[in-house]
Structure 1
């Protein structure tokens, strides 16, 4: 039996760096500290790794094009994912066609039909609705499609995701550990896998703390600031003695909208109410107070999704499903209740 050829992932694991760092070193396409570069080069020599030659042929293919479907570039998280895709594509001289529907199923279907008429080698798909247009699924029958940050029920497609459930569980546990027992959640779009996973993680933390998850109100949200503000309006309408002392928001934009509305009505965050988010957008570290959040490696997700797509285009059969870890960023927006 022939020995399995070492992959870029093997090199990354041996050197204790990310796959993107290995690619930066191989393609000289990004800044890498000298100590990390040396570790990568040592791993390449030790494992006798050689870049996939057919992947190299992608770099020489002048007309190679892939599509990136992203629901909204005003959301920094989506923009960072897209940057990761672009970084991977540029390292192989692959053109990225950016498709930005308005987040509705009708718009996604319209853009998908347009995409079918173009000649692209593959598609990276970030759903804004929790579903996949039939036209995109038709594309998947004839060419590779990789999902990023979502999984779509009934669609057996490769995906690069983060452990949203664990992240939500851990940030909720942190808030509970501060002594909060009157809580509320601002959920994401119910059809989205990420929103379902985050709500499940919150509910697990409540149950483990002895709180009936069904007793915790879940305000509807759509991952936009306006829905966070609307949730804050609902909270403000409650008698002060019944208001939650902590608000868990399924993404940072909704947390920002909630904080702006709460402080605009004279409440102090976190003195009167603690607020936590999810995604750890760059803007979240610039707020007053700085936002406690769950960090997702958005750029890395985009990069890995693109590299997974290129491997599929290249005909490699290795599994490309990946789940990346998340980390809790503890900052100033959560404190013990008064």
Structure 2
């Protein structure tokens, strides 16, 4: 700033007024300051400005990975909302860095972030999350941690699961298998509860529907589909209920590899509505979550917490059932016939 003031021939306070828009400056002096800033390539120290102005300058975003497009869409929403408020996002992906989350916590502290937006993954450890809360306010996205009291931004997971399972039962499916997510995650528990509620509402026994546990990744969807479809003829499921789109994509891949037709032989559903879901062959029936909107709401909530607001979570965001080509009427006979051929 001293270099800028010297080049522009103005007082240091004038430079501060111009950069922070915090005081009156004559037009000719403002023009000289801005010309000096451009000529010198000056970038303000955001951490120092933040301390002085007591405004939010930087927030941290912890994402398990970017293989899942759903996480990437949330990150887009976070970046969009943060940039509109002139807030920098420090981005951390534990899996990509190969480091544990405690390392990310130290990194975020060194960046002096004002708060964190946190997306849980299958490998989330409670002790790591406790360490992250020492950085500042923490907002969870698409996840709840019961007993922690952390504010969160979520969607109607249970309702979406009920709707998609009810869609299958309305098509006459009675033999189904659930390829569930990590049982320790709130989203997986909510979706499983919703599936079971819809199955019971259709007059079927939810306890008779096998539940296979995966990790929300495509590979686990493929492996679990192989297990679910392994029973002898007449006992195999006519529908696979997958806890997210990546697992559903894995299940579709397995069905294609062994020659099963979707949905003629087996219906497959997902959850999230990734951009890829509508482009698959067949296109995937799934539940649309407003991923980008969740990211935007997370930023709004976090900034309010930094300003001293009470940690109150907003109502769950609505979801939408997206019926596409991967579901059809239950067809008991064609399934076994196609496998035999």
TM value normalised by structure 2:
0.77
Which residue pairs with 1:80 in the alignment?
A: 73
- 8 Å CA contact 1:246–1:273 kept in 2: the answer is yes
Provide the residue aligned with 1:9 in structure 2.
none
Give how far 1:62 is off: 9.0
Work out the CA distance in 1 between the residues paired with 2:234 and 2:188: 29
Q: Which runs of 5+ in 1 are unaligned?
A: 1-56
User: What is the deviation of 1:137?
Assistant: 2.5
Partner of 2:165: 172
Measured after TM superposition, the shift of residue 154 of structure 1 is 1.4
Contact 1:131 1:152 in 2 (8 A): no
Alignment match, 2:312: 319
- Residues 130, 193 of structure 1: 8 Å contact kept: no
Distance 1:219 1:63, change over 3 A: closer
- The Cα of 1:314 is off from its aligned counterpart by 2.0
Instruction: Answer yes or no: is the 8 Å Cα contact 2:142–2:153 preserved in 1.
Output: yes
> Secondary structure of the equivalent of 2:309?
coil
Q: Is the 8 A contact 1:132 1:152 kept in 2?
A: no
Figure out how many residues of one structure are paired with residues of the other and give that number.
Answer: 281
Q: Which residue of 2 aligns with 1:11?
A: none
Number of the residue aligned with 2:200 = 207
* 1:220 and 2:216 matched: no
What SS is found at the alignment partner of 1:324?
coil
Q: Point out where structure 2 has 5 or more consecutive residues left out of the alignment.
A: 1-49, 332-341
Aligned partners of 1:163 and 1:323 also within 8 Å:
yes
Question: Are positions 1:292 and 2:285 aligned together?
Answer: yes
Is the 8 Å Cα contact of residues 85 and 306 (structure 1) preserved in structure 2? yes
Give 2:21's aligned residue: none
Specify the SS of the correspondent of 2:139.
strand
- State the match for 1:155 in structure 2: 148
Secondary structure of 2:153's partner? strand
State the distance in 2 between where 1:103 and 1:90 align.
24
User: Which of 160, 164, 180 lines up with 1:187 in the alignment?
Assistant: 180
Q: Is the 8 A contact 2:217 2:246 kept in 1?
A: yes
Distance 1:118 1:70, change over 3 A: same
The Cα of 1:318 is off from its aligned counterpart by 7.2
> 1:320: Cα distance to partner?
3.7
Structure 1: how far apart are the matches of 2:140 and 2:150? 7
CA shift for structure 1 position 138 = 4.3
Distance in structure 1 (CA, Å) of the matches to 2:96 and 2:243 = 18
Q: Which residue of 2 aligns with 1:65?
A: 58
Q: Specify the alignment match of 2:323 in structure 1.
A: 330
Residue in structure 1 matched with residue 27 of structure 2 by the alignment? none
Distance in structure 1 (CA, Å) of the matches to 2:183 and 2:132 = 26
Q: Using a 3 Å threshold, how does the CA distance of structure 1 residues 255 and 104 change in structure 2: closer, same or farther? A: farther
Q: Distance in 2 between matches of 1:136 and 1:315?
A: 21
User: What secondary structure does 2:324 align onto?
Assistant: coil
Q: Is the 8 A contact 1:102 1:108 kept in 2?
A: no
Deviation at 1:139, TM superposition (A): 4.5
2:226 is the counterpart of 1:233: yes
> TM-score, structure 1 length as denominator?
0.78
CA distance in 2, matches of 1:290, 1:104: 33
Separation in structure 1 between the aligned mates of residue 88 and residue 77 of structure 2, nearest angstrom: 14
What does the per-residue CA deviation read over 1:220-269, in whole Å, with 9 as the maximum and x for residues that have no partner?
21101111110121133222211100110000000000001111111000
Residues 108 and 133 of structure 1 are in contact (CA less than 8 Å); yes or no, is this contact kept in structure 2? Answer: no
Q: Distance in 1 between matches of 2:261 and 2:187?
A: 29
Once the two structures are TM-superposed, the CA of residue 115 in structure 1 deviates from its matched residue by: 2.6
- Offset, 1:131: 4.6
Cα distance, 1:318–1:149 mapped onto 2, change above 3 Å: closer
- Superposition pairs for residues 254-333 of structure 1, below 5 Å? 254-317=247-310, 319-333=312-326
